[in-house]
Structure 1
Amino acid sequence: MQTQEQEREELEAAETPTGRSPRVLWIVVTLALIAGLVFVKMRFFPAPNTDAKGSGGGRGAAGGGKGGPGAKGAGQKLPVQVYVVQPTNLSDEVAATGSVLADESVIIKSELSGKITSLNIREGQPVRRGQLLFSINADEAQAAINKQQYNIRLFRDQEKRQRTLLDKEYISTQEYEQANNQLQTAQADLKALQASLAKAYVRAPFDGVLGLTTATIGTYVSPGTEITTLSRVRPVKIDFAVPGRFASSVRVGDVVSITDEGTSKKYDAKVYAIDPQIDPVSRTQPVRARYANTRDELRPGAFVKVNLQLGESTTALQVPTEAVIPEASGYSVYLVQNGKMVPKKVKIGIRSDKVLQITDGLAVGDSVIRTGILQVKPGDAVRAGAD
């Protein structure tokens, strides 16, 4: 057991500054931590100032002039640029791509087997209708024709004798008909041989320009062998297609502007035929125009750009393309009304690189936001600036 003197020494040691220092240090650190948390809460998470007289009023409510961080943006307006809608001139134009076709074109082929005995093809040169292009050895066909002609003479004499006997009632009608049938059959066979012989002499079916060929005199050809091509290139046809929604606007006689992709030169052609059906795959309307091509400006097979004028309007409403917002259900724009942003559904029409036609949803004088679209929400206060 400790003596009273020892107990008194221990009590005096506990009351010395050295003994009190850990407890005081702990209290100071705790208070500093609490003060730091309070500062962070007030600095970065201020309480909403719902009522100047309420529990959240405090210094933020009383200090209306100085205010807290939230009071500064309460009256701030986002600056945006707007486009004021006005009626404009607009050409209703449809752009498409097309191909140049020859007015008439055919592949010249052989219909018989044999060797080419004459060749009058001048590659790339014009020919007239009916002009002989080449001929095939037809000696066998000619010999068969000669033989058949002799047979016809014989059958004709027999038919005359049988007719005489029939008139005198020496033979029956059946015997005469047999002789007459032989004559008619021989004459029909002669016409077939003559038609076959005509195939040995190939002529131009129409006026045109010959293509290239690899055939020469002595070349053996078979039925279906391609010899050359023949094309009529004055005039030429222009094949193109327009979207189905414009099908009702295209008329026979409409003038289309054609731009040659190779030379960038422009020509005017006239629509002369419209396909009665819309292509079910591409949903486009096939159209065909004709160009005189008197100077051989366009060559069949060339690629061209086609512009078709469907009309012109002086009251069209157009807005900058960046002001129109595509959505899943259509298109919309943002308007400025009474200093606030208001979304508006619209329908679009003809578009170009910079402007887009609005066919429904806007009126003359509407202010359409064209900048800052991503920063504003419906109902936000905005400060409009003119372009």
Structure 2
Amino acid sequence: MQTQEQEREALETAEAPAGKSHRVLWIVLALALVAGLVFVKMKYFPSPNADAKGGGKGGAGAGKGGPGGKGGGQRLPVQVYVVKPTNLSDEVAATGSVLADESVVIKSELSGKITSLNIREGQPVSKGQLLFSINADEAQAAIRKQQYNIQLFRDQERRQRTLLDKEYISAQEYEQANNQLQTAQADLKALQASLAKAYVRAPFSGVLGLTTATVGTYVSPGTEITTLSRVRPVKIDFAVPGRFAANVRVGDVVSITDEGTNKKYEAKVYAIDPQIDPVSRTQPVRARYANQNNELRPGAFVKVNLQLGESTDALQVPTESVIPEASGYSVYTVQKGKMVPKKVKIGIRSDKVIQITDGLAVGDSVIRTGILQVKPGDAVKAQPTSR
């Protein structure tokens, strides 16, 4: 019995070193796995602040406070445009409308049926040409009646004058007869003027519009019959921003582009409104174009470009660099490797560039890409580009 217990103790004593060696092996393997994971993480997935931590003590390219140094962080690459003087034509772009040189709606001034119609839709007419007439039988009868009355009053006035010369009647009696004659003649002129309204004529030479009237149509005063327009020449109405109002002159040539055909024409400014529109803060301007071949039609939409001069030292930046804000405009510049916003004032603009009238100087670097990713004070890596 004693012998068996001694053998068991000897066996346990022999197995103990083996169990300890297995545990040590597992620990070593676990540490090796963790070390491998840490190596992979540091090798292929470095921390964003690795450069900052590693650059504090003479790291590669890491001066104190510089990129990669203490607090340097990663620099965001951005494209910048270096501001320089450029040639700029002071051109104002606006939208305009084509108007007839003269235009009127032809209406009836009397009530009655149309007895004749001489309207050829879309065709030219001459000044004074009869367009339509309204039944005027009553007016003509009233005129004949008044003419008879005038003849009667004239005879009475002649007799009364003879009696007055012989002092058979007083001057007052003669004046009453003469007044009747004068009143009748005035009434006749009123009737003749009313009769003239029954015959509607073209007030000027032009082109007729469309109409729905026909012979026999009953019309009332104010009924629209057709339109008459003079389309040679035509007027171009447009407006320029108030800040350019002082630069616009009568006689300036403007370039007009028809929105429908993209054809360009040249018109000349002939009138400028003396007041700036208080709502839009724009200056109404009107130009005239000969329109000999009816190229432009009244009511058409056109683009207008007005040349105000040329500058050789204008500062312009790409359109995408200018940021509109509630209080105006700003741009992002690069100074000493960091982004610095600047307030600017703009001038003439196009689809590609915008003139900067205040806020920038020659040599400034203006950010044109990555604007949404940077904040004031961020470190950036500038890559100059041409416009």
Name the TM tier (shorter chain). Answer: 0.7 to 0.9
Give the drift of 1:130.
0.8
Q: Alignment partner for residue 251 of structure 1, among 249, 252, 257?
A: 249
TM alignment of 1:149-228, pairs within 5 A = 149-228=147-226
The match for 1:80 is 78
The match for 1:282 is 280
The match for 1:294 is 292
Q: Deviations over 1:274-316 (max 9, x none)?
A: 2222222222222211111110111111121222222221211
Q: Amino acid of the residue matched to residue 256 of structure 2?
A: I
CA distance in 1, matches of 2:96, 2:254: 11
CA distance in 2, matches of 1:100, 1:62: 74
Give the drift of 1:334.
3.5
The match for 1:270 is 268
Q: Alignment partner for residue 321 of structure 1, among 312, 319, 335?
A: 319
Give the drift of 1:182.
0.8
CA distance in 2, matches of 1:220, 1:60: 98
> Identity of paired residues, percent?
88
Check if 1:140 corresponds to 2:135.
no
Q: Alignment partner for residue 123 of structure 1, among 121, 124, 138?
A: 121
The match for 1:17 is none
Deviates more, 1:76-85 or 1:303-312: 76-85
Using a 3 Å threshold, how does the CA distance of structure 1 residues 386 and 281 change in structure 2: closer, same or farther?
A: closer
CA distance in 2, matches of 1:333, 1:234: 48
CA distance in 1, matches of 2:59, 2:277: 71
Q: Amino acid of the residue matched to residue 68 of structure 2?
A: G
Using a 3 Å threshold, how does the CA distance of structure 1 residues 192 and 378 change in structure 2: closer, same or farther?
A: closer
When the two chains are superposed, the root-mean-square deviation of aligned CA atoms in Å is: 3.7
Give the drift of 1:350.
1.8
TM-score, normalized by length of structure 1?
0.78
CA distance in 2, matches of 1:227, 1:71: 83
Aligned length: 347
CA distance in 1, matches of 2:220, 2:58: 107
CA distance in 1, matches of 2:56, 2:262: 73
Where structure 2 has 5 or more consecutive residues not aligned to the other structure, the ranges are 1-33, 48-53
Give the secondary-structure state (helix, strand or coil) at the position aligned to 1:192: helix
TM-score, normalized by length of structure 2?
0.78
Give the drift of 1:193.
1.1
Q: Amino acid of the residue matched to residue 88 of structure 1?
A: T
Q: Alignment partner for residue 234 of structure 1, among 216, 232, 235?
A: 232
Do 2:55 and 2:68's aligned partners in 1 also have CA atoms closer than 8 Å?
no
Using a 3 Å threshold, how does the CA distance of structure 1 residues 148 and 304 change in structure 2: closer, same or farther?
A: same
Give the secondary-structure state (helix, strand or coil) at the position aligned to 2:80: strand
The match for 1:3 is none
Do 2:83 and 2:365's aligned partners in 1 also have CA atoms closer than 8 Å?
yes
Give the drift of 1:343.
3.7
The match for 1:306 is 304
Q: Amino acid of the residue matched to residue 258 of structure 1?
A: I
